[in-house]
């Protein structure tokens, strides 16, 4: 059994895609663009923070640096407003987290969401007594899949890489775990592109909360 579990946030323990879609579409309209996204379209944009979302929006679309920075600023503002309005923890997640907490497992969140937003949304939906710490992205620091965030967490809490499991829903999370020398569990209920290649790269694959429970309590 692992001593510590590191969870991605969006698409792993929190179903939040509609908040992101709403914030993005409001921002596009505000900035004068005449296209929008549904939730399935938004899933293809996320994974490495807000800057990467906007980069993917503008991919193959003519734009200036000013266009990019304006949309990023407006989106970041709107996401603060809309975050959590439609989000909900995945069914069974909170029960599993409490069982793990009671078993003495250290629990963490490691997200590319801005640090203050990650902390606020975890406190809102999961309380402040389940996770030992919540880590989001800090300005000027590398984002996942760079190992900086995970390595910092492991060092701070004196956890060896072989004592921890990284749990996430995307190729970014699988790469983050590998870059940090952690085993990785890929969950398939989130927003990733679940190809056979990705399955092979993960140490474990969980297609349900029941699967995940078996893995983390083994």
Could you report the per-residue pLDDT of 195-211, keeping only the tens digit for each? 778 888 999 999 999 99
State the average pLDDT over residues 23-33: 96
List, for residues 125-156, the tens digit of each pLDDT value: 999 999 999 999 998 999 999 999 999 999 99
Residues 105 and 150 in one domain: yes
Taking alpha carbons only, the member of 98, 129, 133, 130 closest to residue 119 is 133
pLDDT value, residue 79? 87
**CATH code of residue 96:** 3.40.50.1000
Burial status of residue 76 (CB atoms within 10 A of its CB: 0-12, 13-18, 19 or more): middle
Q: What percent of the chain has pLDDT over 70?
A: 100
Residue 150 sits in the same domain as residue 210: yes
Average pLDDT over residues 63-67: 94
Residue 180 pLDDT greater than 90, yes or no? yes
Residues 74 and 109 in one domain: no
Predicted pLDDT at 194: 82
Of 41, 59, 82, the residue that ends a domain is 82
Shared domain for 74 and 175, answered yes or no, is: no
User: Same structural domain for residues 135 and 169?
Assistant: yes
Range of the domain at 93: 4-15+88-216
Whole-model pTM: value is 0.88
Q: Are 61 and 150 in the same domain?
A: no
The answer on 199 and 125 residing in a single domain is yes
Judge whether 8 and 110 are in contact, CB under 8 Å: yes
**Domain final residue pick, 58, 82, 106:** 82
Same domain, residue pair 140 and 78: no
CATH code: domain of residue 43: 1.10.150.240
**Same domain? 126 vs 145:** yes
Tell me, what's the pLDDT at 109? Answer: 98
3-state secondary structure of 14: strand
Q: Cα separation of 43 and 169, whole Å?
A: 11
> How many domains does one find in the chain?
2
CA end-to-end distance (rounded Å), the chain: 5
């Amino acid at each position: 059994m692992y001593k510590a579990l590191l969870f991605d946030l969006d698409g792993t323990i929190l179903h939040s895609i509609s908040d992101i879609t709403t914030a993005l579409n409001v921002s596009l309209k505000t900035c004068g663009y005449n296209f929008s996204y549904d939730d399935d379209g938004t899933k293809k944009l996320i994974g490495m923070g807000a800057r990467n979302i906007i980069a993917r929006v503008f991919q193959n679309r003519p734009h200036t640096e000013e266009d990019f920075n304006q949309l990023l600023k407006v989106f970041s503002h709107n996401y603060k407003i809309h975050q959590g309005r439609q989000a909900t923890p995945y069914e069974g997640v909170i029960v599993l987290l409490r069982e793990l907490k009671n078993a003495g497992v250290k629990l963490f969140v490691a997200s590319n969401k801005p640090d203050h937003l990650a902390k606020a949304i975890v406190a809102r939906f999961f309380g402040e007594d389940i996770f030992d710490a919540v880590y989001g992205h800090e300005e000027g620091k590398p984002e996942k899949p760079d190992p900086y965030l995970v390595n910092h967490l492991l060092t701070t809490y004196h956890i060896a890489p072989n004592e921890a499991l990284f749990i996430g829903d995307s190729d970014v999370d699988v790469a983050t775990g590998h870059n940090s020398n952690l085993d990785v569990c890929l969950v398939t209920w989130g927003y990733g592109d679940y190809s056979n290649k990705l399955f092979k790269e993960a140490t474990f694959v969980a297609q349900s909360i029941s699967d995940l429970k078996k893995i983390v309590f083994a």
